[in-house]
Structure 1
Amino acid sequence: MSDSTSGCAEPRTLSEAGVEALVHGICFKTGPPRRLGVEVEWLVHELRAPQLPVAPERLRAAYAALRTLPLRSALTVEPGGQLELSSPPAASLMECVRTVSADLDAVRAALREDGLVLVGIGQDPWHEPRRFLREPRYDAMETCLDRTGPAGRAMMCTSASVQVCLDAGHEEPGPLGHVRRWWLAHHLGAVLVAAFANSPLAGHRPSGWLSTRQRTWTRIGAGRAGAPPLDAEPRDAWARHVLDAPVMCVRRDDAPWDVPEGLTFREWLRTGAPRPPTREDLDYHVTTLFPPVRPRGHLELRMIDAQPGDDGWIVPLAVTAALFDDPEATETAYRTVKRLAERTLGLPAPHNPLWLDAARRGLADAELREVAVTCFATALDALPRLGATPEVIEAVTAYLDRHVVLGRCPADDLLDRQRGTHGRAKGKDPRP
């Protein structure tokens, strides 16, 4: 969901107090929840031979053609060549669904003419990370993330997700207040990881995790990909997190970008070296942090694996929207996930036992399955109040019956196929 929270007409230096004030105002824009958005990422594979890598020149030509399409969603390309469509802010669930569905139909048709196909899976099961984009931002990102091992390149080049974007919520307390929504996002997030896990393979083999993508995110460092503690007011906690997070790079117009090691934004402010940071540097720094819930004026929920099928992304969008934007459903979801809170051991997501169990075992975890069943049933009750069509309600019902009730997720379908079994789930061909 595009926004206009960054950017500044003239660079100017900052203070720590100034950064805290800016983060409060920019990252948490409180008010009644009215808008919804979704960002859908896809791997792009050869239509007839998906295990073969797509030549970069073919991708460049295909993407040039896509940019001529009259899309309402913003079309961007990720470092490894993954494709992303980001919806404009929508006034309703069905407005968001219709906009993105129409854009995806146009994109798929154009790619098919070039012998390419969109693939919904959380992490590429066949291909090694390979950079497609060569830009200073991604050169610096690669250098920075390489310091913590290979997970950074996998995140950049072989992962894909469904990111649901929600308004931050009311200033006042209550089910739709920003404090409650922030807490709910970090606990319900683990349920969403488990229910929609769809990346069990790496290098053609089972990785031992149902969401290998989520495992990848846990391995690039808590400062870069972790959440702040939940024991403080969200705006204060996020401001401190931004200040104490490591700086990925110092941009320069006339020289290679610096990639400092161990320099936090707070230390950069205090030392002013290698040059004093500006408001533009702050805006940029925030975009280099990848927590599971990222405040960008709205809340960006980033923990859901890309989903199989043309319309698989609609189910997590609908379920999440219902559980956050319908007051009755939000209250039920909050009470339901509270029982999971002790499993976090007070540690931030995604580096706590609850989130790790969700990514490793999915809904085979009995407690996560029980909570997920209640949350999905609650969402189904709320969807008519949000104006969902019978087709969307039917899709969520089918997902509940085919996966959640049985303690399964799309990753189980993929593993069944690799093993040559059918498992207990029935429905569409589970191939990515």
Structure 2
Amino acid sequence: MARDTSDTTPLTRRAELIAWFAAGEKPREQFAIGTEHEKIPFYRDGGAPVPYAGDHGVRALLEGVARETGWEPIVDSGNIIGLAGAEGGAISIEPGGQFELSGAPLPDVHATVRELQEHLDAVARAAEPHGIGFLTLGMSPRWTREETPVMPKSRYRIMAAYMPKVGSLGLDMMLRTATVQVNVDFCSEADMVRKMRASLALQPVATALFANSPFTDGRPNGFLSRRSEIWRDTDADRTGMLPEAFKPGFGYEAYVDWLLDMPMYFVKRGDTYHDVAGASFRDLMAGKLPQLPGEFATVSDWANHASTAFPEVRLKRFLEMRGSDVGGPAMIAAQAAFWTGLLYDEAALDAALDLAKDWTEAEREAVRATVPRLGLATPIAGRSLGEVAAEALTIARTGLQARARRDAAGRDETVYLQPLEAIVAAGRTEAEDHLADYEGPWRRSVSPAFAECVF
């Protein structure tokens, strides 16, 4: 989850909320790629989770990464909870200690891969004295929710108290899952809508391709992407396939109205997070929030509220692809290449929209409900999602070839699609490979994951 913003400019009119999104528009030549990923820490000796405090805890790890990188600490109530880089990147900790890199906006996938490797190298150097490793799985495979440490972040305490009121799995989402996201730019409202519709419709394809969370509480959980299934029972007010995006006339205004209908979590004033969970942003704009009478909305409040929406594709001042389990470095790079290829070339975007243009809302919802369990075998409009994935990868490859962004060795960005093309060719996800290992060489134990599924 992103670092909270700080801008006390008052917001009094709905038009200002709409303008905040429109301000994210960029010329095409300035389009960038931002890659975010979470990874679950554990102690290499025994595979236990890593608490926040202590000589070898998450706080000590963050301090070590700060020394390695020179990044500035982010502090909440006296606790270091993240690091801010000079070029726009940041490191944060998720509620269960998941270590997240929010990458800087970069010009191509090659640059994101270099950023990722530099980050992983710095984190490895900082983690080594503490005996800490990191899983490349989308969900912690062994610890129960009760065994998972809770990080001391004020906003998470508010969310943790509210989550059980609106879904049965929100705490699992917060404490035990790990994802990879790609952020892409748009040049106009119409461009945003096209990219939103294409990426929402095809988000289950990414969920299938990146499925990598088949274990919970030390055994198979019946899903290929349990992380994706958990999101289906987290909070219906702020998650899902955003059917509004496919309605005629969708744009910034409709998304703003959806956010205004979405209950708030908190209001931050100074260093204090005020619990207003369930309250209306409209009341805050009018100065009538019961918990904070006389307080009016600011730009920070709106940005923070927008960051607590969790649809499969989220609009901020860019678009976030949110449907995938984390994997190893090659899969993180593949995620960036997949969406860059589909969305940053006009012909590819046309083809991506065409691929899903005849799907109905009911079909999109059915795919979303089924893909966590069936992955590439999920049916859609008389086909399998694996067939759709093969076409989507061909489109992405064509889009990346058209971009023609080359590294020092002369390779274009298509090189990063190879892990996904291998998955489609085999018809098997990483999750299915792990399940086969569990039944075979792992001898029905998840303990080998702490040696084999690691960064």
**TM-score, normalised to structure 2's length?**
0.81
Q: Does 1:244 align with 2:230?
A: no
Deviation at 1:267, TM superposition (A): 4.6
Instruction: Give the alignment's Cα RMSD to 1 decimal.
Output: 2.8
Q: C-alpha offsets along residues 72-120 of structure 1, whole Å, 9 cap, x if unaligned?
A: 5421111211111111111222122212222212212321332111212
Q: Which amino acid aligns with 1:14?
A: T
Q: Does 1:317 align with 2:313?
A: no
Residue in 1 aligned with 2:228? 214
Residue in 1 aligned with 2:373? 360
Q: How does 1:278-293 map to 2 (within 5 A)?
A: 278-279=297-298, 280-293=300-313
Question: Is the Cα–Cα contact under 8 Å of residues 22 and 188 in structure 2 kept in the other structure?
Answer: no
Measured in 2, the distance between the counterparts of 1:147 and 1:205 equals: 28
Question: Is the Cα–Cα contact under 8 Å of residues 169 and 181 in structure 1 kept in the other structure?
Answer: no
Q: Which amino acid aligns with 1:214?
A: S
Question: Is the Cα–Cα contact under 8 Å of residues 314 and 392 in structure 1 kept in the other structure?
Answer: no
| Secondary structure of the corresponding residue to residue 211 of structure 2 | coil
| Secondary structure of the corresponding residue to residue 328 of structure 1 | helix
Q: Which amino acid aligns with 1:156?
A: M
Question: Is the Cα–Cα contact under 8 Å of residues 200 and 313 in structure 2 kept in the other structure?
Answer: yes
Q: C-alpha offsets along residues 41-87 of structure 1, whole Å, 9 cap, x if unaligned?
A: 1111122432x222432222122111222265421111211111111
| Structure 2: gaps of 5 or more residues | 72-84, 443-450
Question: Is the Cα–Cα contact under 8 Å of residues 315 and 392 in structure 1 kept in the other structure?
Answer: no
Residue in 1 aligned with 2:162? 144
Measured in 1, the distance between the counterparts of 2:13 and 2:406 equals: 47
Residue in 1 aligned with 2:345? 326
Residue 99 of structure 1, aligned match among 109, 115, 136: 115
Residue 315 of structure 2, aligned match among 295, 314, 321: 295
Q: Which amino acid aligns with 1:194?
A: A
Q: Does 1:120 align with 2:136?
A: yes
Deviation at 1:207, TM superposition (A): 2.0
Deviation at 1:167, TM superposition (A): 0.2
Residue in 1 aligned with 2:429? 409
Q: Does 1:396 align with 2:393?
A: no
58-67 or 189-198: which moved more?
A: 58-67
Question: Is the Cα–Cα contact under 8 Å of residues 141 and 215 in structure 2 kept in the other structure?
Answer: yes
Measured in 2, the distance between the counterparts of 1:369 and 1:91 equals: 30
Q: Which amino acid aligns with 2:235?
A: G
Q: How does 1:17-416 map to 2 (within 5 A)?
A: 17-19=15-17, 21-26=18-23, 28-29=24-25, 31-32=27-28, 34-50=31-47, 52-56=48-52, 57=54, 58-59=56-57, 60-70=59-69, 73-129=89-145, 130-171=148-189, 177-226=191-240, 227=242, 229-230=244-245, 231=247, 232-251=249-268, 257-261=274-278, 263-269=279-285, 272-274=288-290, 275=293, 276-279=295-298, 280-307=300-327, 309-339=328-358, 341-342=359-360, 344-345=361-362, 352-365=365-378, 366-384=383-401, 385-389=403-407, 390=411, 393-401=414-422, 403-416=423-436
Specify which structure has the higher proportion of strand: 2
Measured in 2, the distance between the counterparts of 1:233 and 1:149 equals: 28
| Secondary structure of the corresponding residue to residue 297 of structure 1 | coil
Question: Is the Cα–Cα contact under 8 Å of residues 136 and 257 in structure 1 kept in the other structure?
Answer: no
Q: Which amino acid aligns with 2:389?
A: A
Alpha-carbon distance change, 318 to 158 in structure 1, aligned in 2, over 3 angstroms: same
Q: C-alpha offsets along residues 131-179 of structure 1, whole Å, 9 cap, x if unaligned?
A: 43223211111111121344121111111111101002345x5xxx222
Alpha-carbon distance change, 278 to 266 in structure 1, aligned in 2, over 3 angstroms: closer
Question: Is the Cα–Cα contact under 8 Å of residues 90 and 101 in structure 2 kept in the other structure?
Answer: yes
Residue in 1 aligned with 2:453? 431
| Structure 1: gaps of 5 or more residues | 423-428
Q: Does 1:419 align with 2:439?
A: yes
Measured in 2, the distance between the counterparts of 1:371 and 1:218 equals: 22
Alpha-carbon distance change, 146 to 178 in structure 1, aligned in 2, over 3 angstroms: same
Question: Is the Cα–Cα contact under 8 Å of residues 199 and 313 in structure 2 kept in the other structure?
Answer: yes
| Secondary structure of the corresponding residue to residue 387 of structure 1 | coil
Alpha-carbon distance change, 399 to 15 in structure 1, aligned in 2, over 3 angstroms: closer
Task: State the aligned residue count.
Answer: 408
**TM-score, normalised to structure 1's length?**
0.85
Percent identity, aligned pairs only?
27
Measured in 2, the distance between the counterparts of 1:48 and 1:64 equals: 21
